[in-house]
Amino acid sequence: MRLIIAEKPSLARAIAEALPERARREDGALHAGDTVVTWCLGHLLEQAPPEAYNAADKHWQLDRLPIAPAAFKHVPRPKARGQLAIIRRLIKRASSVVHAGDPDREGQLLVQNVIEHLGYRGPVQRLLINDLNRPAVKRALGALADNATFAPLYRAARARAQADWLYGINLTRAWTLLGRQAGHSGVLSVGRVQTPVLGLIVRRDNAIRDFTPYPFYPLWVDVRVAGGELRAWWVPRAPHPLDDKGRLLERAPADALAQTLPGSHGRVARLSQQEKRQAPPLPYSLSALQVDAARRFGLSAKIILDTCQALYERHRLITYPRSDCRYLPDEHFGEAQRTLAGACRSDATLGGWLDGADFSRRSKAWNDSKVGAHHALAPSGKTPDFARLSATESRIYRLIARNMLAQFYPPLVTFEVKTELTFANEAFRASGQQVLDPGWKPLFTTREEAPPLPPLTEGEACEALAAGVETRETRPPEPFTDASLIKAMMNIGRYVDDPAVKRTLRDTDGLGTEATRAGILETLVARGYLVRRQKALRATKLGSALIGALPEAVATPERTAQWEQRLSAIAESQDDEGAFQQALLTDLRGLLTQSDAGKLRHSLQTAQGEAVPAATAKPKRPRKKSAPKTRRPAAPPKGSRS
């Protein structure tokens, strides 16, 4: 008997439907001739608790840390014992096993843990499925691989899981026990990914709290040229008082110049004109979809993920959603017209866009070299019944179909103009854009980014018609939302200074993965570290206190970069998981020596607004750019923007 073990029941059903013989359900499995398909329910196993290794660790004690098992154990999840018993019974009869976990690191770990936990030692093949529709599943069944090929990926996944256990168990116990000494009765959870995400939000909240606004004074001038009129903005220079962004900090110079401008003559000193061609946005990865849908519809990352799972598993309208890739296999190009015809025919908007698509066009989205375990989200080709979809499912589906359709539209072609005008030896700048060919843009928006400028010629004369000075005020950074936080997690390298760490974070998945980011946000909310205020994600007093008390290295993303670098090397057989774990234990011991109940007590009291002595700081003044002999004032608050 051949036993196929799928990660979820929906995948098991799709596999059974693609087998040559009709399947019947019996005893927790689907039987089709000599092949039996069964399933996990997500993770059937979990890491054993500390007391499974030593009974003394059932009670939390600082002097028992770090807890480091010599060999890790797994135990069944309480609600999974029945399904695990079914797989145990079937695997004893199996002459071969097919591993049908999701095609990623976590999927490799999930099913292989079950196979190894049950002691199976026979041949194992690997089935990789990205699309639950029957033709795609049949192709995958005809291209089984040797599971041994994925052993390095499994070792990397196992190393990650064990390291997260060591890190979370030891630091959570340490800071929870310190919290009790400091008067906090609850658990203070610390994690390798969740805590840097919380730190990101706390630092943003602090920047907003500490921000001191200050005014600046932009000057505009309306100008007549031979081809029409335009508005330009003054570019002040030293010795006028400027901040680091070149904004004028005193009004008097702008007022004085504005009075002299009307009726004066100048010229077009510089002119840059170029035609730009912009390719359509690529199909979505999960995170890119979460960012876009959260901005458009105000949905949480978790709702978007759950919606995608429903579109994939229940409705079978899209391909595997937990993908970090925005490219498609080359072979999908030839099937795209048929796929999109089926995907779009029942919707008037999508159908209209389908009619405008040119399927002879080939965008850069089709690229085998950029497709790994997953490819981008795409419609499966099944025709949707929108009456059976929720409003949110319909919206998300249309976004996925739209980005796929956009690959068959011409590029957006614009004519962009930037100019610098001079009046009385002062520079003024203006820019504009003219759409020559909207290409794919109408599928996304009909709004123009900048109005076009009139025709200009470098060196031509111009006349100032009117001028004015505005009073504006710098604004603090915006609080994080689901959309901006997911984007920050994707591009976490922007928030670190070390160039090597930046590069590693850029080359990996960033902070968290496509499959875990939404869950991390919900975990932080559930544990009382974050709250949602309308669309904004804000740290609670408890979340702020925890970040204030932890060593900086725990609350910043550099460790993730270091881990991912080594995990990638393990997955490529270039590093050893044992050495990785020993390095982690050395790191943990160093972090535990930095645990300080007094610091945590102070942090908790400060966050709760209790009477804690604090230095009184004077408001910061913005830095001014001035003549060399002028003394330079203090820098403006970080995060200021116009």
Q: What is the domain-level CATH number for residue 257?
A: 2.70.20.10
Per-residue pLDDT at 448: 63
pLDDT tens, residue by residue, 428-442: 999 999 999 999 999
C-beta separation of 375 from 326 below 8 A: no
Q: Do 425 and 443 lie in a common domain? A: yes
Q: Do 499 and 594 lie in a common domain? A: yes
Per-residue HEC secondary structure of 425-492 comes to CEEEEEEEEEEEECCCHHHCCCCCCCCCCCCCCCCCEEEEEEEEECCEECECCCCCEHHHHHHHHHCH
Q: Do 13 and 122 lie in a common domain? A: yes
* pTM to 2 decimal places: 0.83
Q: Do 420 and 295 lie in a common domain? A: no
Per-residue pLDDT at 237: 95
Q: Per the domain annotation, does 549 fall within a domain? A: yes
Buried b (16+ CB within 10 A) or exposed e, 73-91: ebebeeebeebbeebeebb
Buried b (16+ CB within 10 A) or exposed e, 122-143: eebbbbbbbbbbeebbeebbee
Q: Cis link prior to 281 (omega < 30° from 0)?
A: no
The CATH number covering residue 524 comes to: 1.10.460.10
In angstroms, rounded to a whole number, what is the distance separating the alpha carbons of residues 371 and 351? 28
Q: Per the domain annotation, does 517 fall within a domain? A: yes
Report the pLDDT averaged over residues 448-471: 92
Residues 6+ apart with CB under 8 A from 155: 570, 571, 577
Q: Do 105 and 21 lie in a common domain? A: yes
- pLDDT of residue 610 exceeding 50, the answer is no
The pLDDT confidence band at residue 374, using thresholds 50, 70 and 90, is: confident
The 2-6 sheet, strands edge to edge? 24-26, 29-32, 35-39, 2-6, 96-100, 124-126, 145-146
The CATH number covering residue 81 comes to: 3.40.50.140
In angstroms, rounded to a whole number, what is the distance separating the alpha carbons of residues 45 and 68? 19
Q: Per the domain annotation, does 618 fall within a domain? A: no
Q: Do 112 and 9 lie in a common domain? A: yes
- pLDDT of residue 633 exceeding 50, the answer is no
Q: Per the domain annotation, does 625 fall within a domain? A: no
pLDDT tens, residue by residue, 223-266: 999 999 999 999 999 999 999 999 999 999 999 999 999 999 99
- In the numeric block, which tokens belong to residue 459? 């060196």
Q: Per the domain annotation, does 640 fall within a domain? A: no
Phi and psi of 286, rounded to 5°? -60, -45
Q: Which residues pair with 419 in a beta bridge?
A: 271, 430
In angstroms, rounded to a whole number, what is the distance separating the alpha carbons of residues 447 and 616? 48
Q: Per the domain annotation, does 113 fall within a domain? A: yes
The pLDDT confidence band at residue 507, using thresholds 50, 70 and 90, is: low
Per-residue pLDDT at 282: 97
Kind and range of the H or E run holding 197: helix 194-210
Kind and range of the H or E run holding 111: helix 105-117
Mean pLDDT of the chain: 90
Q: How far is residue 573 from each of residues 108, 128, 314, 378, measured CA to CA in Å? A: 16, 21, 37, 32
Report the pLDDT averaged over residues 598-626: 58
In angstroms, rounded to a whole number, what is the distance separating the alpha carbons of residues 141 and 338? 22
Residue-by-residue DSSP string for 18-79: HSSSPPEEETTEEEETTEEEEE--S-SEEEPPGGGT-GGGGS--GGGPSP--SS--EEE-GG
What is the percent of the chain where pLDDT is above 70? 93
Domain boundary among 473, 506, 525: 473
C-beta separation of 431 from 419 below 8 A: yes
In angstroms, rounded to a whole number, what is the distance separating the alpha carbons of residues 220 and 259? 12
Kind and range of the H or E run holding 600: helix 597-607
Range of the domain at 526: 158-210+490-607
Per-residue pLDDT at 271: 97
Q: Do 271 and 312 lie in a common domain? A: no
In angstroms, rounded to a whole number, what is the distance separating the alpha carbons of residues 378 and 342? 12
pLDDT tens, residue by residue, 393-443: 999 999 999 999 999 999 999 999 999 999 999 999 999 999 999 999 999
Name the residue with tokens 């009456």.
Answer: 387
pLDDT tens, residue by residue, 198-233: 999 999 999 999 999 999 999 999 999 999 999 999
Q: Do 495 and 562 lie in a common domain? A: yes
- In the numeric block, which tokens belong to residue 474? 């710098």
C-beta separation of 509 from 287 below 8 A: no
Q: What angle do CA 378, 384, 386 make, to 5 degrees?
A: 125
198 or 602: which leads in pLDDT? 198
- Burial zone of 396 (CB within 10 Å; 0-12 exposed, 13-18 middle, 19+ buried): buried
The CATH number covering residue 300 comes to: 1.10.290.10
Q: Do 458 and 567 lie in a common domain? A: no
In angstroms, rounded to a whole number, what is the distance separating the alpha carbons of residues 387 and 85? 39
C-beta separation of 128 from 329 below 8 A: no
Q: Do 15 and 124 lie in a common domain? A: yes
- Burial zone of 307 (CB within 10 Å; 0-12 exposed, 13-18 middle, 19+ buried): buried
Total domains, the chain: 4
Instruction: Decide: helix, strand or coil at residue 126.
Output: strand
- pLDDT of residue 624 exceeding 70, the answer is no
Per-residue HEC secondary structure of 553-580 comes to HHCCCHHHHHHHHHHHHHHCCCCCHHHH
- In the numeric block, which tokens belong to residue 483? 């959309």
- In the numeric block, which tokens belong to residue 524? 């932080």
Residues 6+ apart with CB under 8 A from 193: 511, 512, 516, 520, 560
Q: Per the domain annotation, does 622 fall within a domain? A: no
Neighbours of 417 (CB within 10 A): 21
pLDDT tens, residue by residue, 117-172: 999 999 999 999 877 778 889 999 999 999 999 999 999 999 999 999 999 999 99
Q: Which residues pair with 532 in a beta bridge?
A: 537
Domain boundary among 365, 392, 408: 408
Report the pLDDT averaged over residues 284-310: 94
pLDDT tens, residue by residue, 532-580: 998 899 999 999 999 999 999 899 888 877 887 888 889 889 999 999 9
Q: Per the domain annotation, does 636 fall within a domain? A: no
Q: Do 105 and 164 lie in a common domain? A: no
Per-residue pLDDT at 202: 96
DSSP state of 313: I
- pLDDT of residue 640 exceeding 60, the answer is no
C-beta separation of 419 from 429 below 8 A: yes
So which residues are the catalytic ones? Answer: 320
Q: Do 418 and 294 lie in a common domain? A: no
Domain boundary among 353, 387, 408: 408
